[in-house]
Amino acid sequence: MRASPEPERQDERAPLVVIVGPTAVGKTALSLRLAARLGGEVVSADSRLFYRGMDIGTAKPTPQERAQVPHHLVDIAWPDETVGLAEFQELAHAAIEDIRRRGRLPLLVGGSGQYVRALLEGWRVPRVPPDPALRAELEAQAQREGSAGLVARLTELDPAAAACIDPRNVRRLVRALEVCLTTGQPFSAQRGRHLPPYRTLRIGLTMARPALYARADQRVDAMIAAGLEEEVRGLLARGYGFDLPAMSALGYLQFKPYFEGQSTLDEVIAEIKRATRRFIRHQYAWFRLSDPTLHWFDAQQPTTPEEVEALIRARL
């Protein structure tokens, strides 16, 4: 007599919907609709939304939208503070667990590819706080010698890290050296992966590049009309200078020459639009259309919200 097959085990990992894509593609609108219809709450994976007072230039969800759907990891730090990858992971895991325990559906939403991948791929990120003096020293070295000096120094301390970091990425080189010099241990030895306990459904939003660029340009114009110049002026008046990492964000750093009397507002607007297009290309490098883990949807198709909702209900 043949034994009856064992019942299939139910996947008891916490469900997590992930919505990614380039800036201005419509992630916020889709997440609000899905959260309202599926009993969900949004966990932001956009590093620019962490900082209080930086609302217009980051296209932060409005108070009305946040009253409609709870948002987590928004307005959690001041612009002179830093929310690194390790802290983001801890806060995001805690928020997802809190949402799950209350019987709600967590939606991880954002365009910061490094933060999304760090969470979903379980990167073990060194929990080493920034050392402003050391960081300033390393950045000064990069300005004097270019990145080659940093690469040579990192190669001596941690050849494995030096081999996998793009030599053009000065910020990552500085961080790797900072960790090595602060802890006395190789940066690469403090990294690893431990997959988190989530049953994920990953949604990617995209659209034809000309249409996306036009939409991004329109959003920049809307930000200017909404008072972006005044927002930046207010941040500077409160002592938040352009040397801060938060103030290097898209839509803020481009105002530096304007407030130094070296460019016009029209030139600033044009540079923000150019920088936004570069940022979009950078985001597509993180979220590849060929990625088999992502279900891509055309944001211009009117049926996309219904199709995404149907997919979530079928899979999760």
Is 153:119 a contact under the CB 8 Å cutoff? no
Return the pLDDT at 190. Answer: 61
Q: Are residues 278 and 159 in the same domain?
A: no
Is residue 87 in a domain?
yes
**Residues 73 and 50: beta-carbon distance below 8 Å:** yes
User: pTM of whole model > 0.75?
Assistant: yes
| Domain contains 61 | yes
Q: Choose one of 168, 190, 212: the last residue of a domain.
A: 190
Taking the alpha carbons of 55, 60, 66, 70 in that order, is the dihedral positive or negative? Answer: negative
Distance, in Å, from the CA atom of 267 to the CA atom of 275, rounded to the nearest integer, reads 12
**Residues 51 and 144 both lie in one domain:** no
Which token pair is 227?
């008072």
Full residue range of the structural domain in which residue 157 is found: 132-190
Residues 88, 203: one domain? Answer: yes
Do 275 and 182 lie in one domain? The reply is no
pLDDT, tens digit, 9 for 90 and up, residues 273-290: 999 999 999 999 989 888
Residues 151 and 294 both lie in one domain:
no
pLDDT of 76 reads 98
Q: Is the distance from CB of 193 to CB of 120 less than 8 angstroms?
A: no
Residue 70 lies in a domain: yes
Cα separations in angstroms, 302 against 46, 174, 183, 294: 25, 45, 53, 20
Q: Domain ends where: 171, 190, 209?
A: 190
pLDDT confidence of residue 168: 84
**4 domain-assigned:** no
The answer on 159 and 177 residing in a single domain is: yes
Q: Please check whether residues 84 and 221 belong to one and the same domain.
A: yes
Exposure on the CB side of residue 230, measured as CA atoms within 13 A = 5
For residue 1, tell me if it sits in a domain: no
193: buried, middle or exposed (CB in 10 Å: 19+, 13-18, 0-12)? Answer: exposed
Q: Write the CATH number for 170.
A: 1.10.20.140
Q: Which residues partner with 201 through β-bridges?
A: 17
Domain co-membership, 265 together with 159:
no
Determine the pLDDT at residue 230.
98
User: Residue 219 burial by CB count (10 A; 0-12/13-18/19+): exposed, middle or buried?
Assistant: middle
Q: What is the CATH number of the domain that holds 257?
A: 3.40.50.300
Helix axes 113-120 and 85-101, enclosed angle (nearest 10): 60
| DSSP code string of 104-139 | -EEEEE-S-HHHHHHHHTTB--------HHHHHHHH
Planar angle of CA 260, 267, 230, nearest 5 degrees:
60
Q: Supply the pLDDT for residue 165.
A: 85
Q: How far is CA 21 from CA 69, 96, 273, in A?
A: 20, 20, 18
pLDDT digits (tens, 9 = 90+) for 143-171: 898 888 888 888 888 887 788 788 888 88
Question: Both 116 and 138 in a single domain?
Answer: no
Nearest CA to 82 out of 47, 124, 35 is that of 47
Tally DSSP H helices, then E strands, for the chain.
13, 6
174, 190, 206 - which closes a domain: 190
Residue 1: per-residue pLDDT: 37
Tell me, yes or no, whether 6 lies in a domain.
no
> What's the total number of domains in the chain?
2
Could you tell me if residue 141 is inside a domain? Answer: yes
Residues 259 and 172 in one domain: no
User: Are residues 69 and 207 both part of a single domain?
Assistant: yes
Q: Which regions of the chain are under pLDDT 70? A: 1-11, 188-193
Does 217 lie in the same domain as 112? Answer: yes
Q: DSSP character for 26?
A: S
pLDDT at 4: 42
Say what the pLDDT of residue 19 is.
Answer: 98
Does any domain span residue 76? yes
User: What is the reported pLDDT for 193?
Assistant: 65
